[in-house]
């Protein structure tokens, strides 16, 4: 059994004896996701990512055009 999985163990004769184990990395990843991908900070992260992608595409196109049209 992998350590990254969430597990639930129970005793079918005693319904009060339920043990739920959730991996700590899974909860920390959810916290990071909630902080960076939701709310006002999430919008800022998306806008910054979009601008970075557009700038890199512009630079790649400029460099490619320079070498294609070089005489």
How far apart, in Å, are the Cα atoms of 28 and each of 7, 34, 38, 67, 70? 17, 10, 15, 46, 51
* The predicted structure's pLDDT at residue 65: 94
* The predicted structure's pLDDT at residue 1: 46
Give the pTM. Answer: 0.54
State the residue range of the domain holding 1: 1-37
Selected residue with higher pLDDT from 28 and 46: 46
Residue 51's contacts (CB-CB under 8 Å, 6 or more residues apart) are none
Residues 2 and 14 in one domain: yes
Residues 1 and 30 in one domain: yes
Selected residue with higher pLDDT from 51 and 21: 51
Name the domain count of the chain. Answer: 2
Residues 24 and 50 in one domain: no
Torsion sign over Cα 25, 28, 30, 32 = negative
**pLDDT tens string 1-18:** 455 566 655 555 566 665
Percentage of the chain beyond pLDDT 70 is 63
């Amino acid at each position: 059994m992998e350590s990254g999985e969430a597990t639930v163990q129970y005793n079918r004769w005693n319904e009060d004896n339920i043990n739920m184990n959730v991996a700590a990395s899974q909860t920390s990843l959810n916290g990071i996701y909630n902080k960076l991908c939701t709310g006002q900070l999430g919008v800022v992260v998306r806008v910054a990512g979009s601008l970075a992608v557009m700038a890199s595409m512009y630079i790649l196109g400029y460099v490619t055009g320079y070498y294609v049209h070089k005489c």
